Amino acid sequence: MFPLLTERLSLRPFMPSDDIALFDAIRESIESVGRWLPWCVPDYDLPMAQSWITFCEQLRREGTAFDLVITDRTTGDLLGSIAINNISKAYRLGNIGYWVRQSAQGQGVVPEALREVVPFGFGTLGLTRLEIIAAEENHASRQVAEKVGAHFEGLLRNRIIIHDQPVTAALYSLIPGDTLLE
């Protein structure tokens, strides 16, 4: 099942040995990622990274989330993470979330990763709907969804909480049979 491979990337579940690389990637990205993801904070520390990795493994065993580390196939460098989470087995749907370390942003990492994660969600996990939910003003995340051909379904008021504030979010979806754009 893992790793999922693309031309440049390897996607696999987090391992305990990823803790320092995860910590470094998050610390590097506080300015760009921290605006949108409330866990990306200046006081993020190594024990937080270790706890996150343990939590990801627990959710993967339960089948409710698959958080994958994105690494460079050549160097092994941790570039970010992509996940199918909030999986509902009853409704066969899941949410896709992603982030990329600041030094790897703007290089097409997430669209490339999505082209492997989406078939994994529909094929291996048997899901029939994947959603991408991004803050209305998070233009980078929204552009990723649009770049791969996810369908914009609308704006949802007070849909997500960022830094203790409810914000409007854009909802995108993918279903089996949708064509992923290159």
Mean pLDDT of 102-109: 97
**End-to-end CA distance of the chain, in Å?**
23
Examine the pLDDT at 1 and tell me if it is beyond 90: no
Q: What is the mean pLDDT of the chain?
A: 97
12 vs 36: CA distance, rounded Å:
24
> What pLDDT, on a 0 to 100 scale, did the predictor assign at position 18?
98
Each residue's pLDDT tens digit, 145-167: 999 999 999 999 999 999 999 99
Angle at 56 between CA 3 and CA 141, to 5 degrees: 75
> What pLDDT, on a 0 to 100 scale, did the predictor assign at position 38?
85
> What pLDDT, on a 0 to 100 scale, did the predictor assign at position 113?
98
Whose tokens are 């914000």? That residue is 167
Each residue's pLDDT tens digit, 23-64: 999 999 999 998 999 889 999 999 999 999 999 999 999 999
71 vs 59: CA distance, rounded Å:
21
* Contact criterion met (CB below 8 Å) for 45 and 23: yes
Each residue's pLDDT tens digit, 128-150: 999 999 999 999 999 999 999 99
Q: Going by C-beta distance under 8 Å and a sequence separation of 6 or more, which residues neighbour residue 83?
A: 65, 66, 67, 68, 96, 97, 98
26 vs 69: CA distance, rounded Å:
12
Structural domains for the chain: 4-174 (3.40.630.30)
Confidence of residue 182 (pLDDT cuts 50, 70, 90): confident
Percent of the chain with pLDDT over 90: 96
What is the pTM (predicted TM-score) of this model? 0.95
* Contacts for 146-149: CB closer than 8 Å, 24+ residues apart: 146/172, 147/111, 147/181, 148/111, 148/114, 148/115, 148/118, 148/174, 148/180, 148/181, 149/174, 149/178, 149/179, 149/180, 149/181
> What pLDDT, on a 0 to 100 scale, did the predictor assign at position 115?
97
Q: Which of 121, 127, 96, 126 is nearest to 111 (CA)?
A: 96
Each residue's pLDDT tens digit, 63-104: 999 999 999 999 999 999 999 999 999 999 999 999 999 999
